[in-house]
Structure 1
Amino acid sequence: MRRKDREITDFAAMRQIVEECGCCRLGLVDEDGAAYIVPLNFGCEVEGETLTLYFHSAQEGQKITLLRQNKIVSFEMDTGHRLVPGPKAEEYTYAYRSVMGRGTVEFLQDPAARLHGLNCLMAHYTRRADWPVSEGMLGATAVFRLRVTSWTAKEHKVCLLYTSDA
């Protein structure tokens, strides 16, 4: 990381950023070697200092095809966006908090594991982890987890020093 002054290394602080994010972008590689980035809803689980992300999807499509071809993916999440104005163009800046990393995807086959993944996802958005899911929906939905192997976090804190009279 180039800007070490913005790096966050405390695991609890990194996890807090994940908890505040509403979207996770997965970075995949398509058949031509080009980047394929897809925004997804997600759930997360922490065991010790290991982060696991859960996702759901239709059973088929470009994302699923690419994930089955290459299980190693990158991810990115960000939150806390705020434009901070300055008196001159070069003094404008942008506040944010972000995490990014990589890991390995695994499609869940066991119904109990799939339900667990979906409930982690629901808990991220609703703070409730005991949602009933019909067998039909469970069978029609692809559920996969990303075991994070490496990740970093960054924060650009900005104090508002300039106020406009306008």
Structure 2
Amino acid sequence: MRRKEREVTNQKEIMALLQSAHIIHIGIQTTDYPYVVPTNYGFEFVAGQLIIYVHGAPIGRKRDLIAKQPKVGFEIDDGNHLMASDNGDPGRNSFAYHSIIGTGNAELVADFVTKKHALQTILVHETGHTWANIKDHDVDYVGIIKIIVSQYSVKAHHDPK
């Protein structure tokens, strides 16, 4: 990381970013160009290991590409905002942000119990509460991708105001 002073290592701040953001951009390899897809996500740390779950259709390009090459890249950010200069000099403008960038191995989840857990994890992240009434049909239909994160870095530029 070039700007070491912006590196975030505090676990509480990392968790806050993962909790406050709602879109993950996943970079998937193709034969010609990277394929980047945004989707919502859920996450958990298991024995210190970051696991990210995403959902989508049970068939499609994303799943086909991951089946061929499971190594993915990802980016999550908190939406960010402009920090306009106080003196009107556009060269003094800056941007506040929190972001996480990493890589991992993606798995197409087929196991019902794991899919239900992943779907519940996504729903808790997106809605803030568990859902006791998830139907088996909904679990069967959804396509779950589990990303076992191999490395990540978190960076922030804080707004002093």
Q: What TM-score does the superposition give when structure 2 sets the normalisation length? A: 0.93
Contact kept in structure 2, 1:42 and 1:124, CA below 8 Å: yes
In the other structure, the counterpart of 2:155 is: 154
AA in 2 matched with 1:12: K
CA distance in 1: counterparts of 2:56 and 2:80, whole angstroms = 27
Contact kept in structure 2, 1:85 and 1:93, CA below 8 Å: yes
Matched, 1:75 2:55: no
**How far is the alpha carbon of 1:109 from its aligned partner?**
1.5
Question: Radius of gyration: which is bigger?
Answer: 1
AA in 2 matched with 1:159: P
CA distance in 2: counterparts of 1:136 and 1:50, whole angstroms = 30
Matched, 1:61 2:38: no
Matched, 1:18 2:24: no
Name the SS of the counterpart of 1:118 in structure 2. Answer: helix
CA distance in 1: counterparts of 2:126 and 2:160, whole angstroms = 29
In the other structure, the counterpart of 1:164 is: none
What are structure 1's unaligned runs of at least 5 residues? 161-166
In the other structure, the counterpart of 1:96 is: 97
Q: What TM-score does the superposition give when structure 1 sets the normalisation length? A: 0.90
AA in 2 matched with 1:21: A
Is the alpha carbon distance of 1:131 and 1:41 closer, same or farther for their aligned partners in structure 2, counting shifts above 3 Å?
A: farther
- For these two proteins, the number of residue pairs brought into alignment is 159
CA distance in 2: counterparts of 1:4 and 1:38, whole angstroms = 28
In the other structure, the counterpart of 2:30 is: 30
Cα displacement string for residues 16-46 of structure 1 (whole angstroms, at most 9, x for unaligned residues): 21111010110111122x1111001100111
Name the SS of the counterpart of 1:38 in structure 2. Answer: strand
Name the SS of the counterpart of 1:30 in structure 2. Answer: coil
Name the SS of the counterpart of 2:50 in structure 1. Answer: strand
Contact kept in structure 2, 1:28 and 1:35, CA below 8 Å: yes
Name the SS of the counterpart of 1:67 in structure 2. Answer: helix
CA distance in 1: counterparts of 2:52 and 2:93, whole angstroms = 34
